[in-house]
Structure 1
Amino acid sequence: MAPELPRILLLPTHLQADELRELEARIPTLTHNAHEAKVILGKISRPERALFELRRLKLATEPVALEGAEGDEAIGDKRGRSDAAEVPSKRPRLSGSEALRSRADEGHVATLDLLGGSGDVVLVLKLAWLLDSLEQNVVLPADDYLLYQGRKISSHSAQASNPGTPQPRKEDETTRSASAVNDSPYSKRTTRPGTSSSTASDGRLHSEPPTLHRETTSEHEVPLPPIPDFLHTTYSCQRPSLVSPPNATFIAELKAIRTLRLLRGDQVGVRAYSTSIASLAAYPHLLQRPQEIERLPGCGPKIAQLYQQWTEDGCTDETRKAKTDTELVVLKTFYDIWGVGDTTARQFFKKGWRDLDDIVEYGWDSLSRVQQIGVKYYDEFQLKIPRDETETIASVILAHARRVDPGFQMVIVGSYRRGKPSSGDVDVVLSHPDEAQTLDIIERLVSSLEKSNFITHTLSVWTKNSERGQAPLAWKGEGRRAGSGFDTLDKAMVVWQNPQDKGPHRRVDIIISPWKTAGCAILGWSGETTFQRDLRRYCKVKMGFKFDSSGVRSRADGSWVDLESSERGPAPDMETAERRVFEGLDLEWRPPAERCTG
């Protein structure tokens, strides 16, 4: 007989479909309503992930202290949630994950009441709690499995205690900006940029009052526009996301905030904002008031509050403050160097470097060749490439490929194919119905373009696909080392300059695909990041497939799945092959201009 379990919601995160169904069948008290659940279980291991899952469920909570530790403060959110009132304490305030670890270190272990206690308290536990309880046929104490404990609150209360709400700080912005340059790069901040607090004479922090939506009586008389059916799915690859959505200017503001989160290393925040941006990109109506936003998947009171700030001031508090935060300004400069990611940008800052001259003077020899080229052509790489120039570059590449064989076909992918007026770089995919022609073509093509002085620098060349005879690569399962997920197509990443007019240097990527996977290649290189992320997630959850630009594999046995030939034979062109991939994945065809998820 199964033990008496509390009301449980099971998260599908990191669970295969069969595994999820099996586990749900073993939970007699299962619910799919987060507001009913006493316990939320997931195959997760970090408090930050627990908080992210609660936000995704749109379950607003406030952290509560563990019973039996009354002298301690309430557990906060690592991302800067401020309580309504600060409780004096002999030790510094800890974030959610730090507080949990601190209590474990100090021996503060309290037995949590899973079957009784307050009905408005919810626990997020590791999935192992359920498995161990079922195995031992007893409801085990939750202390060793606890990731987060919170009290459910209404959406209005959640808005008042929103985790990342950027609010004015009681300090001089100019002084703050100047100190960031002069302080040691290793010094720690007492207040994270973008959080809200002021310091009283007794040294304690006090939260600013929450911002409430401003409403008029007439607003309630105007019905909200209906949410389209396609916005009820969490997969952005199933939604039309236009290149110029009605709310493009507000989306641009959210993108700026997402970049700030990326520069700070907040990967959970980056993913959360990406989900919200993708929903807004697919919303076909011009926003009229904040309440519209809270209805959309991946959005909620936080995004609604940012919209309120943006409509009143033309920007949000977070982006306004970032303009005078010297650390963020410097990090953005470093991040914009080709070959430098957010982690490397922070490393540069910690070394005391504050501009490109510092990099050249103090760190040039430590840079990779790609980073050196990125610094050398920094200003030129920031210039956008107009569509006509993209077409000119692509036509030269195709002409050189057709010197080898006239049957080569090409599709310009990336932002150009999505209909953007300009691009940051040029991406092209080449293929040929005769696969013998694509074998080893990349090195010959690059050599030809170098000799014609179009390519000034070759950053990297991949030939793995040709080295294995262009045979589809079987998927090796979930246990692969990190970083091995990039597609295995032959490709070259180069720096380009027109030898006739000596215009600005441009970044160009040349991708070669065998004909049998050309549809996957142009699909994988045409959608924006969230579209691609959700396409891979859809293939995994709904189809049991592993998708990337070099093909589709079965997750059951790792074998290649041919979606492009079938009984109709090979596709006559690359775009027809792409349509067949959509059909094989049971997805409605979305033209590239509807894959602009932001």
Structure 2
Amino acid sequence: MASDLTFPSIFLLETRLTDDERRQLKEQIPSLTTDVGKAQVFLGKLSTRERAQFELRRLGLATIEEGRHRRTATAPTVAEPAAKRRKTGAQTQSPIVISSSSDDEDTVEIASEPQTPVKVAKLAWFTESVARGQVLPLADYTVYKGWRVQQEPSIASSSPAHASQAEGILKRAQADATGSQHGSPSRRKKFDGAAAAPPRPTLARTTTSEQDLVEHMPPVPEFLHTIYACQRPTPLNGPNERFVEALKTIRLARQLMGDKIGIRAYSTAIATIAAYPYKLSTPAEVSRLPGCGPKTAQLFREFQSSGGHVREADDDEADAKLSVLRLFYNIWGVADTTARSFYNRGWRDLDDVIDYGWKELTRVQQIGVKYYDELQELLTRAQVEAIADRVLEHANRIHDGFQMVIAGGYRRGKALSGDVDLIISHPDESATHLLIGRLVLSLETAGLVTHTLTLSTANSERGQEAVSWKGNAPNHGLDSQASGGVGFDTLDKALVVWQDPMEDDGAEKAEKTEKTEKKQTNTNPHRRVDIIVSPWKTVGCAVLGWSGGTTFQRDLRRYCKNEKALRFDSSGARSRIDGSPVDLEGFYGSDPAPDMLAAERRVFEALGLEFRPPNERCTG
């Protein structure tokens, strides 16, 4: 029981909490306070320092992050008089003071040791503490730690000189407003031209017909009131697909510029609108959807009034810097952080990368540059299936009885794919142990794999068990199209470059002799192929973990963590309470799944989720 534990004073950050969660937490937290000034810990559903700072600012609480202040020997002028301290006998501590210097930059000073710091922690700290029956160390869950600060008195009240300065500023502002009557010629000239002053914002007009549409809006589907995208049906091609694509353009720009909060906000809005089953009619209809605020509604107003264009998306497409960042980001093995690093070095095209940074590139990135144009070519469904058939054929040459699922965008129904994601498994666990090395060697010998860039046997090395609940795997995507998250190296996996033999032309034909092949120059494009090997006992987790859109996968992990106290990834599930493996597929109940897709359905059922076919997991 939470009431049996001694928690510090907690202020609940209610952003992203459902009504039920908010009510339950208020009943459960024994040390809950609504006084920001008394709170020792701010608790909420957040995971980044930036978001924590934003939530504190929203509460009107000014803080400075720990480690960003400087100490001084002289106490600030706002400290209590020495006589009063002697009279009370109390040892007061001077607060942090933010003062403005002559160059308009804030200076942070501490005259003595500050009081208790402000700590913002993940909600999991409280829920997992209750689950274990003890208050866990807060440090493991702290998102942000800082000191409360107070602003130096404003210039209007700090001194007569400052008051005079303020009065002068007001007079100059009045002169600017009245134009030729009071402003100087130089100041009038600055604001005369159309380009000099920002345009006056226009009012958002609502017509009678639009008001009629508002009154007859369809009800928001019940499934959209859930906070997890893995609980919603999200089709590949929804009625608002064009607007969603515009939002994706803006989200990519935010990602390339390193705006983590913007990425999360746009991902949430995109997932909601993609799942909305009706064609949007008005901005009001957008703003009422969960995860879509005034900003999204305004973007839809632009989209609607301009015949399907959003100015911000169009500007992002035309922006010269973003164009270069997209070029670098599309190099295989280059994430957004690396793309920005290339740009900041002054590089502007692939020739710059080759001329100035070739030796610094990883092998994956070198291959990505070498075959850049070929790897940008998309594969048809028939081409994906042809590659899959060849891989499965070679697996069954090693040990008969392997099964395969083509995952990724192909499984979600996309007509074209950027790469091929293949999951292989076998009911006999000894068949999957260390298979990946033998399989890749067989494909290389046949001339189908030209480069092996990554080959991991991490799962075999740990006995084909689920990854540690502490999350000791590298930080890569669950899906090859995702960036971030967990799961890339938790299963045996090979990331290879594929090239069809000349005689194939994308279709399977009889092999020619090795002598004939050497006389030909292979002009078939190189392709990216990921081969994942899963043991049968957790193959349902593997198929699920590689088949959903990015937001679907993100929310699936969040759901497992918050609702089931599980750590989930493509290698299986473990309890977050004691770290023990959790059987989601009935494998140890002497009733193994008959095939890989049946195993995936069992995972949905065990997690308490309604089964969603892959073509309803297209969250973007």
Q: Same fold (TM over 0.5)?
A: yes
- The 2-side partners of 1:423 and 1:385 are apart by 5
- SS of corresponding position for 2:313: helix
- The 1-side partners of 2:15 and 2:573 are apart by 23
Partner residue, 2:43:
42
CA contact (8 A) 2:230 2:555 kept: yes
Letter in 2 for 1:213: A
Partner residue, 1:280:
273
Q: What's the CA shift for 1:317?
A: 2.1
Q: What's the CA shift for 1:54?
A: 9.1
Residue 301 (structure 1) aligned with residue 294 (structure 2): yes
Q: What's the CA shift for 1:273?
A: 0.5
Q: What's the CA shift for 1:242?
A: 0.4
- The 2-side partners of 1:265 and 1:214 are apart by 35
Deviations 1:45-87 (CA, angstroms, capped at 9, x unpaired): 97731476599xxxxx798999xxxxxxxxxxxxxxxxxxxxx
Match of 1:370 among 359, 364, 384: 364
Q: What's the CA shift for 1:42?
A: 3.2
Partner residue, 1:259:
252
Letter in 2 for 1:585: L
- SS of corresponding position for 1:420: coil
Deviations 1:222-264 (CA, angstroms, capped at 9, x unpaired): 3111100000011000000001111111100000000000111
Q: What's the CA shift for 1:325?
A: 2.3
Letter in 2 for 1:219: E
Partner residue, 1:232:
225
Partner residue, 2:108:
104
- SS of corresponding position for 2:530: strand
Structure 2, unmatched stretches of 5+, are 1-7, 64-99, 126-144, 152-189, 477-484, 506-522
CA contact (8 A) 2:436 2:493 kept: yes
- The 1-side partners of 2:61 and 2:22 are apart by 33
Residue 10 (structure 1) aligned with residue 4 (structure 2): no
Match of 1:330 among 324, 330, 351: 324
Partner residue, 2:3:
none
CA contact (8 A) 2:421 2:530 kept: yes
Q: Summarize the Cα distance change of 1:240–1:482 in structure 2 as closer, same or farther, 3 Å threshold.
A: closer
Q: What's the CA shift for 1:26?
A: 2.0
Q: What's the CA shift for 1:318?
A: 1.8
Deviations 1:334-388 (CA, angstroms, capped at 9, x unpaired): 1111111111111111111111111112221221111111011111111111101
Deviations 1:170-227 (CA, angstroms, capped at 9, x unpaired): xxxxxxxxxxxxxxxxxxxxxxxxxxxxx8599x996654454342112212311110
Match of 1:27 among 23, 32, 57: 32
Residue 397 (structure 1) aligned with residue 391 (structure 2): yes
CA contact (8 A) 2:56 2:62 kept: no
CA contact (8 A) 1:238 1:588 kept: yes
Partner residue, 1:574:
596
Letter in 2 for 1:591: P
Q: Summarize the Cα distance change of 1:221–1:462 in structure 2 as closer, same or farther, 3 Å threshold.
A: same
- The 2-side partners of 1:268 and 1:406 are apart by 49
Partner residue, 1:217:
208
Letter in 1 for 2:365: Q
- The 2-side partners of 1:54 and 1:300 are apart by 20
CA contact (8 A) 1:442 1:490 kept: yes
Letter in 2 for 1:26: S
Match of 1:534 among 555, 560, 577: 555
Match of 2:409 among 402, 409, 415: 415
Match of 1:144 among 133, 147, 151: 147
Partner residue, 1:544:
565
CA contact (8 A) 1:50 1:147 kept: no
How many residues align? The count is: 476
CA contact (8 A) 2:235 2:617 kept: yes
CA contact (8 A) 1:213 1:290 kept: no
Deviations 1:94-153 (CA, angstroms, capped at 9, x unpaired): 8xxxxxxx353599xx99xxxxxxxxxxxxx7458xx9xxxxxxxxxx9934799xxxxx
Q: Summarize the Cα distance change of 1:527–1:289 in structure 2 as closer, same or farther, 3 Å threshold.
A: same
- The 1-side partners of 2:533 and 2:47 are apart by 40
CA contact (8 A) 1:524 1:548 kept: yes
- SS of corresponding position for 1:323: helix
Q: Which moved more, 1:394-403 or 1:357-366?
A: 357-366
Deviations 1:474-494 (CA, angstroms, capped at 9, x unpaired): 4236x9896794341000001
Letter in 2 for 1:399: E
5 Å matches for 1:448-527? Answer: 448-476=442-470, 485-486=486-487, 487-499=489-501, 500=503, 501=505, 502-527=523-548
Deviations 1:546-573 (CA, angstroms, capped at 9, x unpaired): 0000001000011110111253611000
- The 1-side partners of 2:241 and 2:593 are apart by 36
Deviations 1:375-410 (CA, angstroms, capped at 9, x unpaired): 111111111111010001000000111111221000
- The 1-side partners of 2:41 and 2:294 are apart by 22
- The 2-side partners of 1:271 and 1:562 are apart by 31
- SS of corresponding position for 2:147: helix
Deviations 1:306-337 (CA, angstroms, capped at 9, x unpaired): 11112223322222222332111111111111
Letter in 1 for 2:209: S
Residue 431 (structure 1) aligned with residue 419 (structure 2): no
- The 1-side partners of 2:243 and 2:288 are apart by 17
CA contact (8 A) 1:522 1:549 kept: yes
Q: Summarize the Cα distance change of 1:271–1:92 in structure 2 as closer, same or farther, 3 Å threshold.
A: farther
Q: Which moved more, 1:498-507 or 1:437-446?
A: 498-507
- The 2-side partners of 1:6 and 1:444 are apart by 58
Q: What's the CA shift for 1:25?
A: 2.8
CA contact (8 A) 1:278 1:530 kept: yes
- SS of corresponding position for 1:144: strand
Deviations 1:414-448 (CA, angstroms, capped at 9, x unpaired): 00000111111000100000011001110111011
Q: Summarize the Cα distance change of 1:54–1:572 in structure 2 as closer, same or farther, 3 Å threshold.
A: farther
Q: What's the CA shift for 1:267?
A: 1.1
- The 2-side partners of 1:474 and 1:344 are apart by 29
Partner residue, 1:350:
344
- The 1-side partners of 2:468 and 2:24 are apart by 23
- SS of corresponding position for 1:279: helix
- SS of corresponding position for 1:396: helix
Q: Percent identity?
A: 53
- SS of corresponding position for 1:354: coil
Partner residue, 2:177:
none
- The 2-side partners of 1:310 and 1:300 are apart by 16
- The 1-side partners of 2:221 and 2:41 are apart by 30
CA contact (8 A) 1:52 1:268 kept: no
Q: Summarize the Cα distance change of 1:509–1:315 in structure 2 as closer, same or farther, 3 Å threshold.
A: same
**Alignment RMSD, CA only?**
3.9
Q: Summarize the Cα distance change of 1:235–1:145 in structure 2 as closer, same or farther, 3 Å threshold.
A: farther
Q: Summarize the Cα distance change of 1:359–1:266 in structure 2 as closer, same or farther, 3 Å threshold.
A: same
CA contact (8 A) 1:24 1:30 kept: no
Letter in 2 for 1:494: V
Letter in 2 for 1:550: S
- The 1-side partners of 2:150 and 2:451 are apart by 50
Q: What's the CA shift for 1:17?
A: 11
- The 1-side partners of 2:444 and 2:22 are apart by 50
Q: Which moved more, 1:497-506 or 1:439-448?
A: 497-506
CA contact (8 A) 1:126 1:146 kept: no
Letter in 1 for 2:207: T
Structure 1, unmatched stretches of 5+, are 32-37, 56-60, 67-88, 95-101, 112-124, 132-141, 149-198
Q: What's the CA shift for 1:24?
A: 2.8
- SS of corresponding position for 2:454: strand
